[in-house]
A = this chain, B = another copy of it.
Amino acid sequence: MSKKAEMICVGNELLIGKILNTNAQWLARRVTSLGMTVNRITVASDDICEIAKVVCEAIGRKPKFIITTGGLGPTFDDKTLEGIAKALDRKLEINNKALKMVKEKYENYAAVGKLEKIELTPPRVKMARLPARSKPLPNSVGTAPGVMISYKGTIMVALPGVPPEMEAIFEESVVPLLKKEAGKLAFFEKSIFVDSIMESSLAPLIDEAMHDNPYVYIKSHPKCREEEPRLEVHFSTTMENAKEAEERLEKTVRQLSRLILKSGGKIRR
Binding site for B on A (CB under 8 A): 12-22, 24-32, 37-46, 50, 54, 57, 73-77, 105, 108-109, 112-113, 118, 121-124, 127, 141-143, 162, 187, 189, 198-204, 206-207, 210, 217, 219-222, 225-227, 234, 236
CB–CB B162/A75 < 8 A: no
Give 11 A-B contacts (CB < 8 Å), ordered by A residue.
A14-B24, A15-B37, A17-B25, A17-B26, A17-B38, A40-B45, A73-B200, A109-B227, A121-B204, A127-B200, A142-B222
Query: CB < 8 Å: which of B18, B20, B143 contacts A20?
Result: B20
CB–CB B21/A25 < 8 A: yes
CB–CB A75/B12 < 8 A: no
Report the minimum CB–CB distance from A2 to chain B (whole Å).
11
CB–CB A76/B123 < 8 A: no
Q: Which residues of B contact A16 (CB under 8 A)?
A: 28-29, 32, 38, 187, 189, 236
The CA of A260 and the CA of B175, in the complex, are separated in Å by: 39
The CA of A114 and the CA of B22, in the complex, are separated in Å by: 43
Q: Which residues of B contact A123 (CB under 8 A)?
A: 200-201, 203-204
Q: Which residue of B lies closest to A38 (CB)?
A: B15
CB–CB A27/B38 < 8 A: no
